[in-house]
Amino acid sequence: MLVSVIVCAYTMERYSDLCEAIQSLMNQSHDDLEIIVVIDEDRELYDNVRREFDVKVIFNEKRVGLPGSRNIGLRVAEGDVVAFFDDDAIADRRWLEELVKMYEIYDAIAAGGKILPLWIGCKPRYLPEEFYWLVGATHKGFPECIAEVRNTFTSNLSFRTDVLKELGGFKSELVERGGIPMQSEETELCERMRITFGRGVMYNPDAIVYHKVYPEKLRLGYLLRRNFWQGYSKAIMEKIVGRLDEEKGFLKYLLLKRTGERLMKALKGSGEDLVKLMTIWLFTLTVGIGFLYGKFSGLQPKSD
């Protein structure tokens, strides 16, 4: 099964990360793949990648953003399956092998896997595992075995090519607000897929990708802004697809189960759990404010 892996990049500042990402793809145990690198506007980056790697490289003369770049990669993909990968991620050697199993054994129309944080520096003690989605990693509360889910993050997400093309690829309205990426374009796409095909993403926790987390993205101010705009993006997504079932289920799990468990540990003297419990409440409140802002601000999703 030929897999087309699409990696998007836009700045020379992350060139070394991009090189590591591409190299991890070239070292995959599943070697029936093509690597497509889409460069957004940075000519120097484009020239360097072409010179360094024997991969398919596409250059966007004008900035089109991440969803647009992914759609451009999709147009030239020749694989039976299209997988998406980030320029600051590193794939486990068996990543594609484990994703392909989902198509061959489970007849999946989409498949994704686990994303583990790769801390560049110290892991913050106040960041609860329930909010690892803030740093692009799989959070606590996600399934721990093979299961059908709505979506995984796009740095570890794949689709049957014909399914993705029939869906029309990614929409562009959930890209970035306040300099913060929304991480919601894949959510909307997978919800649209579930409405259209009646099926979700087959999640395989053995299909592992490591996502680099830099210190500047762990500052409390940055995380609070990200929470706010995530709440906003969920309100916009609700206007598009009409429901947020997974978000409601996770909120119930977070407030009724996890906060209770952390509260019991805090009462037994666990200072770390007390700090993380307070962080959960603060982050949840910030997401809620962002959601209400998006819901009642009168802003509407853009049409394609």
Domain range annotation of the chain: 3-217
Q: What is the per-residue pLDDT across 80-101, written as a single tens digit (0 to 9) for each? A: 999 999 999 999 999 999 999 9
Quickly count: other Cβ atoms within 10 Å of residue 262's Cβ. 22
Q: Which amino acid is at 233?
A: S
Q: Is this prediction's pTM over 0.85?
A: yes
CA 131 to centroid of chain Cα atoms:
13
Q: CATH second-level architecture of 3-217?
A: Alpha-Beta Complex (3.90)
Quote the pLDDT of residue 303: 46
List, in sequence order, every beta strand (DSSP E) within the chain. Answer: 3-9, 33-40, 56-60, 81-86, 89-91, 110-119, 147-149, 157-160, 176-177, 180-181, 201-213
Nearest to 87 by CA among 107, 59, 66: 66
Q: What is the per-residue pLDDT across 148-196, written as a single tens digit (0 to 9) for each? A: 999 999 999 999 999 999 999 998 655 555 555 555 788 889 999 999 9
Instruction: Please state the rounded mean pLDDT for residues 219-239.
Output: 88
Phi-psi region of 107 (alpha: psi -120 to 50; beta: other; left: phi over 0): left
